Amino acid sequence: MSGTTPLRNAEFQRLTQLRESRAREIKTFYTEVTHAASIVTHGTQTIAAANEFTKAFNEHQPFFVSACCCPGSGEPISAVWSPRRPKAGWSK
C-alpha cells in the first residue's frame, strides 16, 4: 500500500467538509437575507411607498407610453413592454 492512498482519502475528506461548511454558510446567508427582506417589505413605510409609487405611475402612464414607446398608441405600458411570444414560423 502506498502512502498516496491515505493522503488522497484525507484530502477528499477535508474537501468534503469544506464544501459542506460553505454550503451551510451560503444557506445561512440567504436565510438571513430572506428574513431581512421580509421584514422590510412588510413594513408600513415600504407598503405605503409602494402604494404611492403605483399611484404616481398610473397617473403618468399615458405620458410614459407616448414619450417612450408608441406615440399615440394608447396601449398600456404593460402591453408594450411585456415579453411576447414569437409568431408562428419564427425561428431562432
In the predicted structure, residue 75 carries a pLDDT above the cut 70: no
Neighbours of 77 (CB within 10 A): 18
Question: Is 51 in contact with 41 (CB distance < 8 Å)?
Answer: no
pLDDT in tens, 20-65: 999 999 999 999 999 988 888 778 888 888 899 989 888 877 666 5
pLDDT of residue 46: 84
Question: Is 61 in contact with 77 (CB distance < 8 Å)?
Answer: yes
Instruction: Report the share of the chain in percent with pLDDT over 90.
Output: 33
How far is residue 67 CA from its own chain's centroid? 28
Task: Report if pTM > 0.85.
Answer: no
- Dist CA 68 CA 28 (whole Å): 42
In the predicted structure, residue 15 carries a pLDDT above the cut 90: yes
